[in-house]
Structure 1
Amino acid sequence: SVSLIRYAGVLIGTTLTSLGGAYLTLAHTNQFVEGITTGRGFIALAVVVFGRWSPKGAFWSSLLFGLFYALQLRLQAIANITIPYQFLQALPYVMTLLTLILLRGRAISPKALGVPYQKSA
């Protein structure tokens, strides 16, 4: 049934989101930091749009945006770069905006997006 699939999707999505948040807190930083995921939801939406609303596309686009995030971390670690670290931290978000600007008008969302399911009689 459609309702069962939607509930299962929400349950699986929230479980994966919770595991991601737990990873960031426990494994990545080893401490609680308020606002640790700030701005990443925006990037997640861009991943879905850039991936053209498909799981395979979202996978590849998440790798691309993950590369942008890892790149800014690596550039900060290089000692002889004279760019302020704030500019490097903004790199994933700037690349996200540039990607969305380049996709403007070509990213087509599913027709049923946001339309509630109504069981027909």
Structure 2
Amino acid sequence: MKPFGHTALTSFNLALAVASVVFGPIAFAAAADTDRRIEHIENGLIPAVLVRGEAVPSVHLSARMRDLHVPGVSIALIHHGKLEWARGFGVTRVGGRGVTAETLFQAASISKPVSTL
């Protein structure tokens, strides 16, 4: 695994993948069970590009983080204008402490597209 922060592009790719799950076409189950929603996020990442007629593969968050050499992320889900849940995954850097919902990350290049939302 490469050290944290090796490129802004890698961080941007992971953030884009997470955003595709949160804002993409995947609908949440009708149940308000927070644990099931978190599990859906962890296990339901989809590729940035889909081909019509082909099965949609899903990838576990930890596998995507490993593939993109990203040691940790923090995800928050806003539902109907309110924070529904926030959780950290992975570590702050290789050999570092675990990520929590309160861990601060440098926004870097992701701040521009996020600020336009």
User: Normalised by the shorter chain, which TM-score bucket?
Assistant: under 0.3
Higher strand share: 2
TM-score between the two structures when normalised by the length of structure 2: 0.26
TM-score between the two structures when normalised by the length of structure 1: 0.26
Higher helix share: 1
